[in-house]
């Protein structure tokens, strides 16, 4: 029997075409502008960047009681998760410091949504107000 895999061309070089990272200078300008214009948007960006939580339902409908301040984790319930499974996401130190020391989310009513019309968490009434920023 003759070898059936002869005359197969070699695969070319794999070329990395991932986008370049944003420079520190541009990131700093964006951060300053967003913090000034809409601090809650920066909070959402930090959650997405540091914890890889999906911006649609997972982040937009997240309540403060999903954050475990002792174990530094966020529990994404199966009713919110894209894959339908409850997931536990670790909170990196950079994000934890912002959550606890800057935004002091632990001091608010933990049954409130993390994001809403007002930056001030005690005025949050219902979910979905930051949807304009967090489109799927």
What CA–CA distance (Å, rounded) separates 28 from 33?
A: 9
**pLDDT score, position 122:** 37
Q: What is the pTM of this model?
A: 0.69
Q: In the sheet where 87-90 sits, what is the strand order?
A: 67-68, 73-76, 87-90
| Residue 136 reports pLDDT greater than 70 | no
Measured over all CA atoms, what is the biggest interatomic distance in the chain, rounded to whole angstroms?
Answer: 77
| Residue 102 reports pLDDT greater than 60 | yes
Listed in sequence order, the residues at least 6 apart from 136 whose beta carbon sits closer than 8 Å to its beta carbon are 55, 56
**pLDDT score, position 65:** 96
User: For all residues of the chain together, what is the average pLDDT?
Assistant: 81
**CA angle (26, 129, 57) in 5-degree steps:** 85
């Amino acid at each position: 029997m003759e070898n059936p895999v002869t005359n197969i061309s070699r695969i070319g070089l794999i070329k990395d075409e991932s986008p370049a990272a944003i420079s520190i200078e541009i990131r700093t300008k964006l951060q300053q502008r967003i913090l000034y214009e809409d601090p809650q948007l920066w909070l959402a960006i930090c959650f997405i960047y540091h914890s890889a939580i999906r911006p649609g339902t997972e982040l937009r409908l997240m309540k403060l009681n999903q954050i475990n301040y002792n174990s530094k984790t966020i529990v994404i319930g199966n009713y919110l998760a894209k894959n339908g499974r409850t997931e536990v996401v670790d909170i990196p130190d950079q994000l934890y410091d912002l959550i606890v020391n800057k935004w002091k989310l632990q001091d608010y009513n933990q049954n409130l949504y993390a994001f809403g019309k007002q930056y001030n968490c005690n005025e949050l009434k219902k979910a979905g107000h930051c949807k304009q920023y967090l489109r799927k």
